[in-house]
Amino acid sequence: MYIPPCPFLLMGFLLFVCSSRRRRIQGAGFDRTRVKRGRLWGGGRGRGRSVAAGKMGRSAPVFQALLVFLTIIETQWSSVSGMYCADMASTVYRPHSVTITEFGAVGDGVTLNTKAFQNAIFYLNSFADKGGAQLFVPAGRWLTGGFSLISHLTLSLDKDAVIIGSPHSSDWPVIDPLPSYGRGRELPGGRHQSLIFGSHLTDVIITGANGTIDGQGAIWWDWFYNNTLNYTRPHLVELMYSTNVVISNLTFKNSPFWNIHPVYCSQVIVEHITILAPLNSPNTDGINPDSSTNVCISHCYVRNGDDVVVIKSGWDEYGISFAQPSSNISISNITGETGGGAGIAIGSEMSGGISEVRAEGIRIVNSLHGIRIKTAPGRGGYVRNVYIADVSMHNVSMAIRINGNYGEHPDNNYDKNALPIISNITIENVVGVDVGVAGILEGIEGDNFSSICISNVSLSVRSRHPWNCSLIQGYSNSVTPESCEQLRTDCEETSICYDGGSSLAVGSRASIHNKPSANILLNSLLQLVSL
C-alpha cells in the first residue's frame, strides 16, 4: 500500500534544495555512490549533464539528489519480498569457527592458497551435522584458485580481507556445461568453475564486513577480446542446486565473467553488495538469478560493463527441455551504472520461463539501457507477470527496450518455430532526465507481445522520435512523451494490466492513480531547479 511521504520530510528536503541552489553546492553525483555496510553513500559529480526543459544544464547535481529523494519516498518496501524469503535469516550462529591461517594460508597476495581453502573446508565438513561452522578470512590479500563450499557453512571476510583470483587459468577447474545451456555460454564444451563454487548445498552464507572478492578479470577480458579463450570464462560466485543461500555485505571486483550466479537454486538472499568493474569490461553482469525461485535482491550498488541485475532461465532447446523457470524474484533498492547493459534486464536466455518478478526502487545512471527484456525466435518459454516500478534514470541512452530478435543461439539445432510468450509486463512510476530515447519495443512476427502496460512515466528525452514500437499490444496512461500508438489505450480502461500481485486485478489500478503523477512531480522539480 502506498504511504505518502511525511510533509515535514518533504518541507525539509525542499529547504535543503533551495539552500543548496543558493550555495551552488556541487555533489549528489551517482557515479561514485557506494554501498557501505548496508547504506548508500554518495559523493563526487555525475558525468552526465541534465538538459530537461532547457534549464537543467547547471542543475544536474541538484536534480540527481531530487531523483534519489523521489525514488526513496515512492519505494514501497514491498511485502512481496518478505513473502518470497520469509523463512530465511541473513545470519546464523555457528558453534565452530576456524581461521584460514590455521591451514597454512599466507595473505601476502603472492602465495597461492587454494590448498589451504580446500583443506579448511574439508575439515569443517565434520561439523556440518553439529550446527555448522564458520571459515574466517582475516585482513590480508589471499590469492587462490577456485574452491568449493559445503552445506551449513559461513564464509566470513574481515573488512580488510581480499580474496584474489589467480591470474592463471589452470587454477580455475573446468567443469561440465549447465544442462539448461547445453554448452559453455561463450564456447562449446565445458566452462571454468567459479572462484567460489558449490552444488547441492543448503544453509550457505558468504558474508563479511564489506570485505572484497577480486577476480582480477583484466587478463580474462584480454583473452576474450583476443579470441584466445579455451573455455567459457568463470564467475566469481556460482551456486547450483542449492537452497537457503545468503550473500551479503561484500564488495565484488573485476569478475572475469558474471559476478553472482545462483542457478537451479531456491531461497536466495543477495543484499548489501557492491559490484565494481570497468564500464567497458565484457559481460561482467552483476547479479544473475538463473532458473531459480524465491530470490530476494536488495540494497546493492553495481557499476560494471553489462547488466546490473538480469534474470535468466536457460538457452533455446536446452532450456526448454530442462524446463526449470525463474519465479518469485524480488529486486529492490538498487543503484546501477553500466557501460553496455541495462539496470534491470530479463533474458535473453529465458527458455525455461520467467514469471512473478517485482522490481522497485531502482536508480540507473550513465547507462546504455534502463529496463530491458531480451528474447528471440527459438527461445520458446515465456516472460510474464513482471512489475517494475519507482525507477529514476539519469543520462540513460534508452529508457525501455523490449527486443524480440536478440539472436545468439547455442547451436543450429534450435526450433525456429519455438516462439516466446511475452505478456503482462507493467512498468510504472518512472522519472528520467537526459534520456536519449524513451523506448524501442519490438515483438516477433506472428508473436505479438501482449499486455505491455506503461503508466505514470515522465522522461526528458533528447530524441525527436522518442518511441518506436512494432508487433506489440498494450496500454498506457500518463506517459510523457506520449507513448507509441500501439499502447495508447488507457490503462484505466482495462483489467488485464499486471499489478505486481499474485493475480491480475483491476481494483489495484485505482490505488496506482492515487499516487502523485510522475508528470506533476517532474514538472514541480523542474520549476524548483529553475529558481
Query: How does pLDDT run across 489-516, given as a tens digit for each residue?
Result: 876 666 689 998 754 333 333 333 344 4
- Can you give the pLDDT at residue 81? 56
Task: Specify the residue for cell string 572462484.
Answer: 195
- Can you give the pLDDT at residue 438? 98
What global pTM score does this model have? 0.83
Point out which residues pair with 398 in neighbouring strands: 369, 437
Give the contacts of 101 (CB within 8 A, at least 6 positions apart).
Answer: 107, 138
Give the contacts of 164 (CB within 8 A, at least 6 positions apart).
Answer: 109, 141, 142, 143, 144, 214, 216
- For each of the domains in the chain, give its residue range(s) and CATH number, in order of start: 104-487 (2.160.20.10)
- Can you give the pLDDT at residue 524? 45
Q: How high does pLDDT run on average in the chain?
A: 85
The answer to whether 222 is a known catalytic residue is no
What's the CA gap between 455 and 465, in Å, rounded?
19
**CA R_g for the chain:** 23
- Residue 287 DSSP label: B
pLDDT over 70 for what percent of the chain?
78
Q: What are phi and psi of 358, to 5 degrees?
A: -130, 120
- Can you give the pLDDT at residue 502? 55
Which residue among the candidates 203, 285, 290, 306 is catalytic per the annotation?
A: 306
322 touches 352 (CB < 8 A): yes
Which region, left, alpha or beta, applies to residue 333 given φ > 0 means left and ψ of -120 to 50 means alpha? Answer: left
- Can you give the pLDDT at residue 82? 58
Q: Which residues of the chain have pLDDT under 50?
A: 1-60, 62-63, 67-79, 503-517, 520-521, 524-531
